[in-house]
A and B are shown apart, each in its own frame.
Chain A
Amino acid sequence: MFRKWGVFLSKSKQKSLNAPDLLLTISIFTLLIVGVIMVYSASAIWADYKFNDSFYFAKRQLLFAITGILAMFFIMNIPYLTWRKYANPILIVCFILLIAVLIPGIGLERGGARSWIGVGAFSIQPAEFMKLGLIVFLSTYLANNQKYITSFSKGFIPSLLLIFVAFGLIMLQPDLGTGVVLVLTCLVMIFVAGARISHFIGLGIIGLVGFLGLIISAPYRINRITAFLNPWEDPLGNGFQIIQSLYAIGPGGLMGMGLGQSLQKFFYLPEPHNDFIFAILAEELGFIGGTFILLVFLLLLWRGIRVSLAAPDTFGSLLGLGIIGMISLQVMINISVVIGLIPVTGITLPFLSYGGSSLTLTLCSIGILLNISRYAKL
């Protein structure tokens, strides 16, 4: 049955390579299908109100998904080692874009942040590219310099410096969610590459001190934290989104209110097809639907780690880990926000949230992962 995949593979490499990981592919398609349906369900009211077309967002999401899948299949056929070759130029382009987005006139301001470059539907988020670019670069760098990884000054510090420059630029937009995902993904890669645990402990202490420093210097930041601990203290301010999210999830119960039956999507939950789409999913499909999606994401993580374990070289391992780590961290953070486990950060749910550029890019990175899986030695 693996042979079926052959239609998508260029003939010259067919003999020496495996088929791409099947379970990985199935879970991606499952998520995409559920995603398009949920985007429709969650956005229909909003879309009808705003564009007089309840399918407005769903149609676009479907288009993005198809584009994304095509891109995924295309990238799946590019040998992943190609990226190693272009790691430096990719990183440089990403940095240029990331700086360019900050310049008024080039970067578009949306919702108080300057995160987009381009025109209309063809705009992109440089920070999204930076995540991927940095993963490619870091995989290359760590694979090349693995013998130094245990060294604090030669291995640990240079990687960190690079990460924090990127993080700093992203925070200038500002886009805390993407920044956090980027840093955490890179830290996971450095950890797996073999850095000393003690270095991480040191880093943790510095991070904690820095965190306290930020709070002391600007006490309003504490509001975001208290808002998630007790959103009802400020139901119309900091607690608003999380309360509306919980009002969706809570009534969902075991079975949910039924597909399309959400009440919170009636303008109660702001932009229900974006960051908080999981809340609508849990409202309509209940605990069963929610855990099903969580299991699919866990399956994705498992297959990704498996690809990473079986990759033929360190670069492949780290690249695969970076990609699956980035996606999984985004999933964990998004859902934790939606169910009130952590403060609101502003991250979309991969494959499910509405959004063209991020969906396409996520599928492209899955394409890379699938390509690695074809070289896996299982």
Chain B
Amino acid sequence: MKRVSNVTMRKRLVTVFLLGILVFTIITIRLGYVQFVIGDELMNRAQESWSRDIIFEPERGKILDKNGEIIAENVSAPTVMIVPRQIKEPQKVAEHLASILDMSVKDAYQEVTKKASIVRIHPEGRKISEERADAIRTLNLDGVYIAEDSKRHYPNDEYLSHVLGFSGIDNQGLMGLELYYDDLLKGERGTLSFFSDAKGHRMPKMADVYEAPVDGNNLQLTIDSRVQTIIERELDLAEAKYNPDGALAIAVDPNTGGVLAMSSRPNFNPEDYQKVDPDIYNRNLPIWSTYEPGSTFKIITLAAALEEEVVDLHEDEFNDDGSIKVGGATLHCWKSGGHGHQTYLEVVQNSCNPGFVTLGEKLGAERLFSYINQFGFGQKTGIDLQGEENGILFKPEQVGPVELATTAFGQGVSVTPIQQVMAVSAAVNGGYLYEPYLADEWLDPVSGQTISKTEPTLKDRIISEETSEEIRNALESVVAVGTGRGAYVEGYRVGGKTGTAQKVGDDGKYMSNNHVVSFIGFAPADDPEIVVYLAIDNPKNTVQFGGVVAAPIVGNIMGDSLRALGVERREDGLEKEYRWPDEPLVEVPDLRGLTKKDLQEYLVNLSIEANGSGDYIIDQAPEPGVKIPQGEEIRIYFDEEKPD
């Protein structure tokens, strides 16, 4: 053997050994990496693969109104569970299930013969009625089980539907508050996990882990169901009377921004949301629709003019001849021929367009638009609902004399109803612009204790208390003596403003005889506790004026709501000024069968023209129940005999 070769071999043997150490070192490092660095992650993944979870559904939080009345809850809705291995006669079982669950026998057969340990018939067998569940229970079929489950129930049907929204079959919020607050309402699923081997058998000696479901929190709203009921009723009536394209109403507490009521038409039943056009539930009109506000917007112009002291309502005067020339264009007043000579208070009462144009001119574009922005127009109000729109204002560089003039009386701007409500609330509450909100409190579902309460969010202070008071007084006079007389409520000092907004048609021009008529009101005028906005889109068979259609409805809403809320009656309000056709009418009494002597007590208000002779009244004209102006004559016919 050669010596040199031997040395080489020894060197190389040592080299091989060192390489071996290197490889073992790498292996050890990798082993440490797997067990320490990515060990936890692998542990989690492995546990996921070992554990089988039986899901326990939490109960979704209830939704309550301000006074604790339930407006969304859960009701038992059983679900059919099939264990295919236990079914002996699949064809028979399939036929039974198909007839009870309204499905085809073929589909049912597929379900009951599935290769799975437990089958849930989706969707026919989920959340079925108690009647159906009983029908299945009675059959007592092997391998068919009825499992408890719950579904969302809205006891008042269409009531508040757009605000509430709805939740889907897995109790997941899909729309409205149900969606917006889904995370808090839905709770957390519970699980019973047991470790299983890869063949699905429970592993021996491994403890089950139970995590109880956490029920969702109850949501108490700012909505007052009494006010909401009134609004729903009035909208139903308006819908029946005017067959409008749409209608909406909002009531808020101007001192917090809390929404007391909100509704719109067309609406839907949240439990049957699939049955209506998605556009109906996707469009929550009070926050989604944008249109030219019309005269209700004049409140903003008025607020700006008063705060900037460019006008004195009582001293300054304006002569309206029916139109005004601005930058070469002629803008007409809604009243042909104009309102003639007026103080600016009368300009407000008459909703005189040329008068407001002069207010806009006195302010100038920069100041007017600065107020419009401050009042929150052109941006979302931030209400806790999805699907709110911004509205559109003229861009500063677009504003010429005509744009300034039309904006001043509410044309050429596009706003949402909720923006108007919040802006007017700020105008009458002393200048405080609040963020509107619906979720007032979160309550523990078990103890009922308050978990959190929403504090009103003050966004801005825009005008002074003095200006605000002046606006309230001016708007109270609009209702007492101006265009808003329909909204007058005896003893509650209602203030407000009518609006009749033109709509832009598909051709980009204003449509004729198709308006959004609206009214925004508040009460009591000395310390407003409620602001109500109502808009009716294209009412039929009527004069499309806000004062005619919308104001009386708001009057009804106001009167009933203020009484329901227990607001104290006021003594010192402005008296309503009656004008034709506002003079109170007298109902013709039924005088037939009375004697001359009985007639004495009716003579106070009526003038009688008597015909015939005798003691008994046998007929009268007009008929009983007909309304006639005071002092009008009633003709009566006498006879000797008492009529039958």
Residues of chain A having any CB pair with chain B under 8 Å: 45, 146-147, 188, 191-194, 246-254, 263-264, 266-268, 282, 286-287, 290-291, 294, 297-298, 301-302, 305, 308-309, 313-314, 317, 321, 325, 328, 332, 335-336, 339-341
Contact A263/B1 with A298-B20, A309-B13 known, Cβ cut-off 8 Å: no
Q: Is the CB–CB distance between B34 and A246 below 8 Å?
A: yes
11 contacts between A and B (CB under 8 A): A191-B12, A194-B12, A247-B42, A250-B39, A253-B35, A267-B198, A268-B50, A268-B197, A268-B198, A287-B31, A290-B35
- The main secondary structure of chain A at its interface with chain B is helix
Q: Which B residues touch A191, using CB under 8 A?
A: 12, 16
Q: Which A residues touch B541, using CB under 8 A?
A: none
CA distance A191 to B13 in the complex (A): 9
Q: Which residues of chain B (1-58) have a CB below 8 Å from chain A?
A: 1-2, 5-6, 8-10, 12-14, 16-17, 20-21, 23-24, 26-28, 30-32, 34-36, 38-43, 45-47, 49-50
Q: Which B residues touch A287, using CB under 8 A?
A: 31-32, 35-36
Q: Which B residues touch A188, using CB under 8 A?
A: 16
B12, B20, B26, B198: most-surrounded residue (chain A CB, <10 A): B20
Chain A residue nearest to B38 in the complex (CB): A250
Q: Which A residues touch B203, using CB under 8 A?
A: 263, 266
Query: Which of under 10, 10 to 19, 20 to 34, or 35 or more describes the interface residues of B?
Result: 35 or more
Q: Is the CB–CB distance between B39 and A253 below 8 Å?
A: yes
Q: Is the CB–CB distance between A332 and B31 below 8 Å?
A: no
A192, A290, A313, A328: most-surrounded residue (chain B CB, <10 A): A192
In the complex, the 8 A-B pairs of residues with the closest C-beta atoms, listed nearest first: A250-B42, A266-B197, A267-B198, A247-B46, A251-B43, A305-B17, A192-B12, A250-B39
CA distance A287 to B30 in the complex (A): 11
Q: Is the CB–CB distance between A332 and B27 below 8 Å?
A: yes
A328, A335, A339: most-surrounded residue (chain B CB, <10 A): A339
CA distance A305 to B43 in the complex (A): 39
Q: Which A residues touch B616, using CB under 8 A?
A: none
Q: Is the CB–CB distance between B42 and A254 below 8 Å?
A: no
Chain A residue nearest to B43 in the complex (CB): A251
Q: Is the CB–CB distance between B26 and A341 below 8 Å?
A: yes
Known: A252-B35, A294-B24, A332-B27. 11 other contacts (CB 8 A): A191-B12, A194-B5, A263-B50, A266-B197, A266-B203, A286-B35, A294-B31, A298-B21, A302-B17, A317-B9, A339-B31
Contact A341/B17 with A146-B5, A267-B199, A297-B24 known, Cβ cut-off 8 Å: no
Q: Which B residues touch A147, using CB under 8 A?
A: 2
- The main secondary structure of chain B at its interface with chain A is helix
CA distance A251 to B198 in the complex (A): 17
Whether, in the assembled complex, B195 has its beta carbon less than 8 Å from a beta carbon of chain A, the answer is yes
Q: Is the CB–CB distance between A301 and B198 below 8 Å?
A: no
B14, B35, B45: most-surrounded residue (chain A CB, <10 A): B35
Contact of A192 among B13, B34, B39 (CB under 8 A): B13
Q: Is the CB–CB distance between B42 and A251 below 8 Å?
A: yes
Q: Which residues of chain B (337-353) have a CB below 8 Å from chain A?
A: none
Q: Which B residues touch A251, using CB under 8 A?
A: 39, 42-43, 46-47
Q: Which B residues touch A282, using CB under 8 A?
A: 31, 35
Contact A332/B24 with A192-B13, A317-B9 known, Cβ cut-off 8 Å: yes
Residues of chain B having any CB pair with chain A under 8 Å: 1-2, 5-6, 8-10, 12-14, 16-17, 20-21, 23-24, 26-28, 30-32, 34-36, 38-43, 45-47, 49-50, 195, 197-199, 203
CA distance A224 to B199 in the complex (A): 26
Q: Which A residues touch B198, using CB under 8 A?
A: 266-268
Chain A nearest CB: distance from B37 CB in Å?
10
Q: Is the CB–CB distance between B21 and A321 below 8 Å?
A: no
CA distance A294 to B29 in the complex (A): 12
Contact A321/B30 with A146-B5, A251-B39, A263-B46 known, Cβ cut-off 8 Å: no
Contact of B23 among A192, A267, A302, A332 (CB under 8 A): A332
Q: Is the CB–CB distance between A341 and B30 below 8 Å?
A: yes
Q: Which B residues touch A314, using CB under 8 A?
A: 1, 5-6, 9
Chain B residue nearest to A313 in the complex (CB): B1
Contact A247/B21 with A192-B16, A309-B10, A321-B16 known, Cβ cut-off 8 Å: no
Chain B nearest CB: distance from A177 CB in Å?
17
CA distance A317 to B11 in the complex (A): 13
Q: Is the CB–CB distance between B27 and A335 below 8 Å?
A: yes
Q: Is the CB–CB distance between B23 and A294 below 8 Å?
A: no
CA distance A267 to B199 in the complex (A): 7
CA distance A250 to B17 in the complex (A): 29
Chain A nearest CB: distance from B400 CB in Å?
64
Q: Which A residues touch B9, using CB under 8 A?
A: 192-194, 314, 317
CA distance A250 to B12 in the complex (A): 37
Chain A nearest CB: distance from B199 CB in Å?
5
Chain A residue nearest to B21 in the complex (CB): A298
Chain B nearest CB: distance from A333 CB in Å?
10
Q: Which A residues touch B199, using CB under 8 A?
A: 267
Chain A nearest CB: distance from B12 CB in Å?
4
Q: Which A residues touch B1, using CB under 8 A?
A: 146, 313-314
CA distance A336 to B36 in the complex (A): 17
CA distance A101 to B238 in the complex (A): 94
Q: Is the CB–CB distance between B16 and A294 below 8 Å?
A: no
Q: Which B residues touch A325, using CB under 8 A?
A: 16
Q: Which B residues touch A339, using CB under 8 A?
A: 27, 30-31, 34
Q: Is the CB–CB distance between A45 and B32 below 8 Å?
A: no
Chain B residue nearest to A188 in the complex (CB): B16
Q: Is the CB–CB distance between A249 and B20 below 8 Å?
A: no
Chain A nearest CB: distance from B559 CB in Å?
68
Chain A residue nearest to B42 in the complex (CB): A250
CA distance A182 to B129 in the complex (A): 72
Chain A residue nearest to B46 in the complex (CB): A247
Q: Is the CB–CB distance between A247 and B49 below 8 Å?
A: yes
Q: Which A residues touch B35, using CB under 8 A?
A: 249-250, 252-254, 282, 286-287, 290
Q: Is the CB–CB distance between A308 and B36 below 8 Å?
A: no
Q: Which B residues touch A254, using CB under 8 A?
A: 35-36
Q: Which B residues touch A297, using CB under 8 A?
A: 24
Q: Is the CB–CB distance between B20 and A301 below 8 Å?
A: yes
A249, A250, A266, A298: most-surrounded residue (chain B CB, <10 A): A250
Q: Which B residues touch A313, using CB under 8 A?
A: 1
Q: Is the CB–CB distance between A268 and B43 below 8 Å?
A: no
Q: Is the CB–CB distance between B49 and A268 below 8 Å?
A: yes
Chain A residue nearest to B17 in the complex (CB): A305
Contact of B34 among A268, A332, A340 (CB under 8 A): A340
CA distance A263 to B206 in the complex (A): 10
Chain A nearest CB: distance from B446 CB in Å?
37
CA distance A264 to B43 in the complex (A): 11
CA distance A266 to B50 in the complex (A): 9
Chain B residue nearest to A304 in the complex (CB): B17
Chain A residue nearest to B6 in the complex (CB): A314
Chain B nearest CB: distance from A129 CB in Å?
24
CA distance A325 to B16 in the complex (A): 9
CA distance A309 to B6 in the complex (A): 10
Contact A267/B41 with A192-B13, A287-B32, A332-B27 known, Cβ cut-off 8 Å: no
